[in-house]
Amino acid sequence: MSNKSVTRLYKNGIIANDIHLIIKNWTIDYKDISMILSDDTTFFASLKSVVNTKDIQQCRKLLGLANNIDLAMICVIVMSNTFVNNDDLVTNWVASDMQESSIRISVRGKLPPELKAINTGTICAILNPDIKEQMVKTDLKCINIRQMDDILIIGELDGLQFCKGITSKGTACRNFVYTHNQGDFCKFHVKSGTKTKKVSSAVKTNVEHPNTKVGSTLTDDRYIHIYPTSIKKVNTPFTFTDSGYLNKPKETINKLGDLNILVQKVISERNNDVNKDTRSLSNNETKARSSGNITKSARSKEFERLAQMIHEHSLKGTKEYKQILGSLQLIVRRLDGVSSDVIERCEIMKSCNRLLDHPIESIAISSLKLRRAIRKHLKTPNKNLTTHRFTGSVCSGHKPTQTDTKDEEGMKIKDRLKELEKMDIAEEYKQTIKFIEVLAYYCEECDRWAEHINPYCKQENHTFIRKKVKKESHFCMNEKCRYKYYSLNGQNPTLCPKCKESTIISEKTSFYNPRPDYLLPNEILLDCEIGAHRPRDANS
């Protein structure tokens, strides 16, 4: 038990983990901590000896502790984090001995007020740490705190700061250093603090080229015997002289003419190759046009085969869900180029309507996508090419009369009325929706709900709870205001955000804004008790 003298009080701090920790602010009384350190029933082990063991039993066995002696350790908090996991509040601290050993401390549940003060630089003593064997190997070992009384806050460490080194990416180093022991740099940036070695002037003179000396001291007489010509030409003035033609003009023109003939030959050969390629391409295009009808018929046959497969598998039950899902995803790709007659003959729309109530959600969604794709395909501008009216008029060879145009306009208005009726039904359903469910955050310190985390709460390390709540719509009853606002989980503001009334009076309204009515030419809506609306039956 002679190792107990390692942890003791010394001057303005405490010696723990074989290092002198200078304390800036004491949280516990000086007399109380001296009594705790002098107690014979508690042994203070170094953090390194705790981290290097498999579990707490092995640590006690290596230290030679009896069953009636408690094990404790002193560490410095260098990082803190709080989050919610499965509706449980979890607090993680990373503790260090300010040398090379670190450990993670995990606490589940709400922290008492005295433990909420733990921050970066806090010196703590932990009694009987619960160390278990790691099932998954990670960087840091973890200890769990079962009782809040097992943590004792001693004080705040002096001289804890970030390393002043720069990483290879050009960013500041985020490692903590203890300046009283390590200096301003961590172990990865120790060389940054040392001074760079200066090269002596004698070495520089040996390395430099002699031409640099000649250029700088041309007037020195001792270099005349080494560079006599360069020194003599410095004092003479520089004059420009004509170099003369290397070749005669006629010779250069003849050479350029030969080069021009060669370039023309290359261009003509390339043009012949391009003409051959264009001829081959035109032949391929004619072949492709002739085989266009074959590909269209093959695509329609493939579409019919897939539609028949979907119809057969949908009648068998839910066991064939894989084949149904694969066929639904494949038939959407085969829809391009299929005529409306083929789609009506296959009765694929009936199969889609039947699969909308399928218990497997992916099949229901795929059938809905297929139905939308078919409707979009049928509404293309070329759909009239397959209708009976168009083929009949073309075969008869007469121009459309006035009655034909009136019938066509009536059909268009009738189709438009059906679309408007569906839109009105959907709009009435949307107006009945008073709330929706959203994911929101609740801050315990501010006692407020919000859809997004407040930057101030994040900076102050407030505790949050993430939960699904109701988002309701309200509007102010003040006739001059009529401002629309939203509330989360029944949390209403004390004042109206717009008119700032002292006593706010609001009413729940639809979550969606009303859609403006799309009226046909010369259309008047019927007035009744529920307001102006369009009749339910489009034929009336």
From the list 370, 290, 315, the residue with the least C-alpha distance to 338 is 370
Say yes or no to pLDDT of 195 above 50: no
Rounded mean pLDDT of the chain? 74
The three-state secondary structure class of 304 is helix
> Mean of the pLDDT values across residues 66-77?
90
At residue 49, the pLDDT reads 87
Q: Which residues, in sequence order, are CB contacts of 58 under 8 Å at separation 6+?
A: none
- Amino acid identity, position 338: V
C-alpha Rg value of the chain to the nearest Å: 44
**Which residue from 308, 284, 518 is spatially nearest to 419, judged by alpha carbons?**
518
Find tokens 């270099």 and name the residue: 223
**What's the token pair of residue 524?**
């008047």
Other Cβ atoms less than 10 A from the Cβ of 391: the count is: 12
Q: Is the pLDDT confidence value at 207 over 60?
A: no
Over residues 120-139, the mean pLDDT reads 78
Q: What is the pLDDT of residues 232-247, one digit of tens each?
A: 444 455 555 555 545 5
Query: Using one digit for the tens of pLDDT, what is the confidence trace for 340-395?
Result: 888 888 888 888 888 888 888 888 888 888 888 888 888 764 444 444 444 444 44
Q: Lowest-confidence range among 165-174, 244-253, 427-436?
A: 244-253
Q: Give me the pLDDT at residue 423, please.
A: 80
Does the 2-158 domain belong in CATH 3.40.50.2300? no
C-alpha 149/C-alpha 411 separation (Å) is 82
Rounded to an integer, what distance in angstroms lies between the CA atom of residue 524 and that of residue 14? 89
Return d(Cα 373, Cα 204) in angstroms, integer: 79
State the virtual CA torsion across 179, 107, 152, 130 in degrees, nearest 10: -100
Q: Do residues 461 and 436 touch, judged by C-beta distance below 8 A?
A: no
As beta bridge partners, residue 206 has: none
Q: Is the pLDDT of residue 291 over 60?
A: no
pLDDT tens-place string over residues 434-444? 788 888 998 88
Better-predicted residue by pLDDT, 247 or 151: 151
What is the predicted pLDDT for the residue at 76?
93
The answer to whether 105 touches 143, Cβ cutoff 8 Å, is yes
Q: Residue 461: left (phi > 0), alpha (psi -120 to 50), or beta?
A: left
Q: What residues pair up with 25 in beta bridges, in sequence order?
A: 156
Element (H, E) at 287: helix 249-290
Q: How far apart are CA 218 and CA 534, in angstroms?
A: 104
> Residue 108 and residue 129: Cα distance in Å, rounded?
15
Structure tokens at 343: 């789609």
What is the tens place of the pLDDT at every residue in 465-482? Answer: 888 898 888 878 777 787
Helices then strands, counting H and E runs in the chain, come out as 16, 18
Lowest mean pLDDT among 66-70, 294-298, 302-306: 294-298
pLDDT, position 507:
63
Residue ranges per domain, the chain?
2-158, 197-237, 248-290, 293-399, 435-508
